[in-house]
Chain A
Amino acid sequence: MAEKDSLLLRVITPDRVFYENRVKMVEFNTTEGEIGILPGHIPLTVIVKPGVLNITEADGEKMAALHSGFAEILPERVTILAEIIEWPEEIDEKRAEAAKERAEDRIRTKSSETDLLRAETALQRAVARIEVLR
């Protein structure tokens, strides 16, 4: 792939380098909404929100469930510091489904403010996991 129409994506977690390659496009969810990054993006630092990380490589696409962390975007380089991230094959679908139901339950019954926030994050995570599997 030519240098010009690709960017270097590095996804780093505390205990491994999750992904490192030249890619065409990266998409993920941030606190300000979904973002798609092409080569030549302006320098930007964003906070990750639970969602799907979509990587467009020269010959295909890759997906992963990205749960928390933040990303540094430079014109030719994107570094995602992910606290929690999973490839589809690492996700337990049954557990994700169960977590989703539990979170939805908690939101419906809502007891106090803090609980609601946690339940919402849990729900977002579960949804991201299930979405990646599909």
Chain B
Amino acid sequence: MASMRDIKRRKSSIQGTQQITKAMKLVSTVKLQRARAGAERSKDYFMCMYDTVNSILQRVGHVEHRYLNPRSEGKKAVIVITSNRGLAGGYNSNVAKLITRNPEFSTEDTLVYTLGNKGRDIFLRQGYEVRDCGGEIVENPAYADAMTLSARVLQAYEDGEVNQIFLAYTAFKNTVSHIPTLLKLLPVDVTTVQGDEEKEEGPSAVMNFEPEDVEALNLIIPKYMTSLIYGALMEAVASENGARMQAMDNATSNAEEMISDLSLKYNRARQGSITQELTEIIAGAEAIG
């Protein structure tokens, strides 16, 4: 049995850890609230964008356009949004698994654009070709960051370096439920987009475009992509803090459990030593007497 001093030391160390996890939980709760408000504000913009792009694609139908038709040559590009710091449960590894466990994304023909240092480290370790897009962006995403990133990836698409663009992030459903999501950005899948639209037939049947449809696509699709990336960033940040809050909450309650377990052991050891001392004194007294 461990000595009283050992148990006491162990207990105070766990108490220290518990204080830290408790503080971290509080911090991520506050951050979560802020991130969630941000994600909700960006939703308005995103929904409008989605509707407009839908209505354009519906009118245009199947045309030859580099943003709509798949090409054969080139690699697959994936934008992966992760966090900079750990201690967030399975947040980072769940997103990474979408790619590493997917046979479609082999290390040879996948280009990974990482946001967040954790993701960069994971993919480098797995042997993927990684283009680091910086970690600061996920701390406080701005729309301008999404624009830069989307322009960079789009350039690779235009150059023929990549033929498909995917986006992997953690969708924020609510405080406790975050879903790792893989989304195809380019080429835009006309059929799936249209399928959605048919359910909700809008009253605006005749829409005109200035400039013409196809030209409008050139300008609107990059904006559409940017807004998707931005929306994903906002959701990912909210998910990160949600995941961290949950992880820290678990850690705090685990620490609580261990502390009560150790208290019990400590008291037992204390009682044991008192009993032993008493036995020794009585035995000594008897020997003298």
> Which A residues form the contact surface with B (CB < 8 A)?
12-17, 30-32, 42-47, 69-70, 72, 74, 79, 81, 83
Other than the known A15-B41, A46-B210, what 15 A-B pairs have Cβ atoms closer than 8 Å? A12-B44, A12-B45, A13-B45, A14-B143, A14-B146, A14-B227, A15-B42, A15-B45, A31-B219, A45-B52, A45-B208, A70-B216, A81-B45, A81-B49, A83-B147
> Are B230 and A45 within 8 A (Cβ)?
no
> Are A43 and B52 within 8 A (Cβ)?
no
Contact among B45, B143, B209, B223 for A45, CB-based, below 8 A: B209
Q: 27 A-B contacts, Cβ less than 8 Å apart?
A: A12-B44, A14-B42, A14-B230, A15-B45, A17-B41, A17-B44, A31-B210, A31-B219, A32-B210, A32-B211, A43-B208, A44-B207, A44-B208, A45-B52, A45-B207, A45-B210, A45-B216, A46-B210, A47-B219, A69-B223, A70-B219, A70-B220, A72-B48, A81-B49, A81-B223, A83-B223, A83-B226
Residue B38, interface by CB 8 Å:
yes
Interface residue ranges of B182-215 to A (CB < 8 Å): 204, 206-211
Minimal beta-carbon separation of A69 from chain B (angstroms):
7
* In the complex, residue of chain B having the shortest beta-carbon distance to the beta carbon of A45: B209
* In the complex, residue of chain B having the shortest beta-carbon distance to the beta carbon of A10: B48
Interface residue ranges of B40-54 to A (CB < 8 Å): 41-42, 44-45, 48-49, 52
Contacts of B227 in A (CB 8 A): 14
> Are B206 and A43 within 8 A (Cβ)?
yes
> Are B207 and A70 within 8 A (Cβ)?
no
Give the distance in Å from the alpha carbon of A13 to the alpha carbon of B223 in the complex.
Answer: 12
Give the distance in Å from the alpha carbon of A30 to the alpha carbon of B216 in the complex.
Answer: 12
Residue B56, interface by CB 8 Å:
yes
Give the distance in Å from the alpha carbon of A47 to the alpha carbon of B219 in the complex.
Answer: 8
Give the distance in Å from the alpha carbon of A79 to the alpha carbon of B52 in the complex.
Answer: 10
Where chain B touches its partner, the secondary structure class is helix
> Are B143 and A43 within 8 A (Cβ)?
no
Give the distance in Å from the alpha carbon of A112 to the alpha carbon of B237 in the complex.
Answer: 39
Give the distance in Å from the alpha carbon of A74 to the alpha carbon of B42 in the complex.
Answer: 23
Give the distance in Å from the alpha carbon of A47 to the alpha carbon of B224 in the complex.
Answer: 13
Give the distance in Å from the alpha carbon of A17 to the alpha carbon of B146 in the complex.
Answer: 19
Tell me whether A30 and B210 are in contact in the complex, defined as CB-CB below 8 angstroms, given that A47-B220, A72-B52 are known contacts. yes
* In the complex, residue of chain B having the shortest beta-carbon distance to the beta carbon of A43: B207
Minimal beta-carbon separation of A56 from chain B (angstroms):
22
Contacts of B48 in A (CB 8 A): 12, 72, 79, 81
Give the distance in Å from the alpha carbon of A46 to the alpha carbon of B209 in the complex.
Answer: 6
Minimal beta-carbon separation of A121 from chain B (angstroms):
13
Contacts of A74 in B (CB 8 A): 204
Contacts of A31 in B (CB 8 A): 210-211, 219
* In the complex, residue of chain A having the shortest beta-carbon distance to the beta carbon of B46: A14
Contact among B42, B143, B206, B208 for A83, CB-based, below 8 A: B143
Give the distance in Å from the alpha carbon of A79 to the alpha carbon of B44 in the complex.
Answer: 11
Give the distance in Å from the alpha carbon of A16 to the alpha carbon of B208 in the complex.
Answer: 27
The 6 A-B residue pairs with the shortest CB-CB distance, nearest first, are A14-B143, A43-B207, A44-B208, A32-B210, A46-B210, A12-B45
Give the distance in Å from the alpha carbon of A96 to the alpha carbon of B223 in the complex.
Answer: 24
Minimal beta-carbon separation of B134 from chain A (angstroms):
19
* In the complex, residue of chain B having the shortest beta-carbon distance to the beta carbon of A68: B223
* In the complex, residue of chain A having the shortest beta-carbon distance to the beta carbon of B146: A14
* In the complex, residue of chain B having the shortest beta-carbon distance to the beta carbon of A17: B44
> Are B223 and A70 within 8 A (Cβ)?
yes
> Are B209 and A44 within 8 A (Cβ)?
yes
Contacts of B219 in A (CB 8 A): 31, 47, 70
Give the distance in Å from the alpha carbon of A126 to the alpha carbon of B210 in the complex.
Answer: 25
Give the distance in Å from the alpha carbon of A49 to the alpha carbon of B226 in the complex.
Answer: 18
